[in-house]
Amino acid sequence: NGGVGGDHVLADAQDGSGTNNANFATPPDGSDPRMQMFLWNTASPAIDGDLDNGIIAHEYAHGVSNRLVGGPSNTSCLSNAEQMGEGWSDFFSLVMTMAPGDQGTDARGIGTFALAEPVTGPGIRPAPYSTDFGVNNFTYANTNGGVSQPHGIGFVWCTMLWEMTWELIAVHGFDPDLYQGTGGNNIAMQLVIDGLKLTPCNPGFVDGRDAILQADQILYGGANQDLIWAAFARRGLGASADQGSSGSRSDQTEAFDLPVDDNVGVAEAVHPLPGALFECGNGGVV
C-alpha cells in the first residue's frame, strides 16, 4: 500500500543477454523495476532459471530491500561493503519456499534447481542454509575478509535470519498460509520487512539486528526479544558485537553474549541449539 503507482515489474524470461545468473534493477519509486532471468548451462538441455521459485523470490526481494532501506526514493543505500542485500534476498527465497515438515536442521541450498542439484545440494553459497552447525558453521567473524562481497556477506546475514526464523517457529509454530498465517515463519517475514523500513542507509549487521529488535517492539510489544537475541548471538552477533565501519570488511568483532537483562536461561547462545531455544558467484551469483 502507498507509494507511487504505475511501476510494475518488467520481467524478462529466458533473457538472452547472459547465462547462469539473474538480476533485478531497482529504480526509485514510480519507475519500473526490471528482472532479468537467464538460462543455466548446468545441464543439457539448458535449465530455465524462471522455473526456480527461489531465484524468482530472491530477485524480487532486491526490489523490496532497495525500496525500503533508506526510503522508496533512495535506492542507492545498499552499496557499502557490509550491506546485507543478498542476505535479505536469500531469506525471502528460503521462507517463501518452506513447506510443512521442514526442519531447521535441513540443508537448504540456493539455486539448486538451476544447478541441476537435489534440493539438499549445496547451491551457489559457501554452504547450505541450516541451523545445524555441522552443515553451516558460519558466524559473524567470517565477514572479516573470509567470504565474498556482496554474496558471501549476505550469506552470513541470511544464516542469522534463518536461525531467528526457526526460533520463532519453535515458539509460534509453522503456518503455510503466507497471507493470513500467524506462525513463526509469518512473524519472521513481518519482522524482516518492518526491520528493513527501520534500517539506516549504508547499514552494517548491528544496524540490521537492531532494526529487527525495534520492529519486534513496535509490532509485538517486544514479545520475541529473547529468542531474537539468542538467534543472533549464536551466530556471533551478540550484545557486544561491533560492526565497526559499515564501509569496511575487516573491522568487525563478533560476540556471543546476550544482554544482561535478557531472560533466556536455557543455554549459552554460543552453543548450537538449532530451533530449540525454548524447549549469486562462480558462474552463478544470483
Side-chain half-sphere CA neighbours of 249 within 13 A? 19
pLDDT tens track for 91-112: 999 999 999 999 999 999 999 9
At 268, which amino acid appears?
A: E
DSSP-assigned states of every residue in 59-123: HHHHHHHHHHTT-TT---SS-STT--HHHHHHHHHHHTT--TT--TTS-B-SSTTTTT--TTS-T
Side-chain half-sphere CA neighbours of 244 within 13 A? 15
Q: How many CB atoms lie within 10 A of CB 255?
A: 17
pLDDT of the residue at 1:
63
CATH code where residue 181 lies: 1.10.390.10
pLDDT of the residue at 271:
40
Residue 27 maps to a domain: no
| pLDDT of 268 strictly over 90 | no
Residue 192 maps to a domain: yes
pLDDT tens track for 32-66: 999 999 999 999 999 999 999 999 999 999 999 99
Residue 88 maps to a domain: yes
Residue 225 maps to a domain: yes
How many distinct structural domains can be found in the chain? 1
Residue 100 maps to a domain: yes
pLDDT of the residue at 73:
85
pLDDT tens track for 178-188: 999 999 999 99
| Residues with catalytic function | 59
168 pLDDT band (50/70/90 cuts)?
very high
Residue 16 maps to a domain: no
Residue 14 maps to a domain: no
Question: For residue 70, what are the domain limits?
Answer: 50-234
Residue 171 maps to a domain: yes
| pLDDT of 275 strictly over 80 | no
At 59, which amino acid appears?
A: E
| C-beta of residue 112 within 8 angstroms of C-beta of residue 103 | no
At 101, which amino acid appears?
A: G
